[in-house]
């Protein structure tokens, strides 16, 4: 399967040039750019691990691409990596854009657990197959 989180998951995987163009868009808007990675892509996993602090005062997307490449080197094989733009202006103070820039070769996807309740009701739970394995050992052959 292919996880379709983020802004551009229905497009072919972004090239570095394409990523740079979107990062530059964030910078031009005055947003802080953040690189995050995880091996638990559950749709409710909000807090991915941060690759350093959000980059607040950069002018050029090249700096972000350097950091992204370093992150890829460390985690690219075994994690999802996303880039997000954070807008601190009043009334928003949250993420403005978020998109995946790297994903593991194999994406095992999710199982749906159903716990039958009274009548015909169910309690549903979505679980990542990868998360069956311990942290750090997921997505490895």
Partner 1 sequence: MNVIEKSLKAPRSRYSAGVMEYRNMGYWQPDYEPKDTDIIACFRVTPQDGVDPIEASAAVAGESSTATWTVVWTDRLTACEKYRAKCYRVDPVPNAPGSYFAFIAYDLDLFEPGSIANLSASIIGNVFGFKPLKALRLEDMRLPVAYVKTFQGPATGIVVERERLDKFGRPLLGATVKPKLGLSGRNYGRVVYEALKGGLDFTKDDENINSQPFMHWRDRFLHCMEAVKRAEAATGEVKGTYLNVTAATMEDMYERAEFAKELGSVIVMIDLVIGYTAIQSMAKWARRNDMILHLHRAGHSTYTRQKTHGVSFRVIAKWMRLAGVDHIHAGTVVGKLEGDPNTTRGYYDICREDLNPQQLEHGLFFDQHWASLNKLMPVASGGIHAGQMHQLLDFLGEDVVLQFGGGTIGHPMGIAAGATANRVALEAMIFARNCGRDTLAEGQRILEEAARNCTPLKQALDTWKDVTFNYASTDTPDFVPTATAAE
The residues binding partner 1 (CB under 8 A) are 1, 3-5, 7-12, 18, 21-22, 25, 41-44, 46, 84-85, 91-99, 109-112, 120-124, 126
- Residue 55 CA neighbour count, 13 Å, CB half: 23
Crossing angle between the packed helical segments 16-28 and 61-75, to the nearest 10 degrees:
130
Of residues 56 and 122, the one with the C-beta less far from partner 1: 122
Of residues 73 and 120, the one with the C-beta less far from partner 1: 120
Q: Which residues of 78-103 are buried (b: 16+ CB within 10 A; e: fewer)?
A: bbbbbbbbbbeeeeeeeeebbbbbbb
CB of 74 to partner 1, least distance (A): 23
CB of 10 to partner 1, least distance (A): 5
Of residues 15 and 73, the one with the C-beta less far from partner 1: 15
């Amino acid at each position: 399967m292919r996880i379709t989180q983020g802004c551009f998951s229905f497009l072919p995987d972004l090239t570095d040039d394409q990523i740079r163009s979107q990062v530059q868009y964030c910078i031009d808007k005055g947003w802080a750019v953040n690189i995050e990675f995880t091996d638990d892509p559950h749709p409710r996993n909000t807090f991915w691990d941060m690759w350093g602090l959000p980059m607040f005062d950069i002018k050029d997307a090249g700096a972000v691409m350097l950091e992204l490449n370093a992150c890829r080197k460390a985690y690219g094989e075994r994690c999802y990596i996303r880039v997000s733009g954070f807008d601190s202006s009043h009334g928003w103070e949250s993420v403005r854009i978020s998109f995946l820039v790297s994903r593991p070769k194999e994406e095992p996807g999710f199982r749906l657990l159903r716990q039958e309740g009274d009548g015909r009701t169910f309690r549903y739970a979505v679980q990542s197959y990868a998360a069956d394995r311990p942290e750090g050992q997921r997505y490895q052959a």
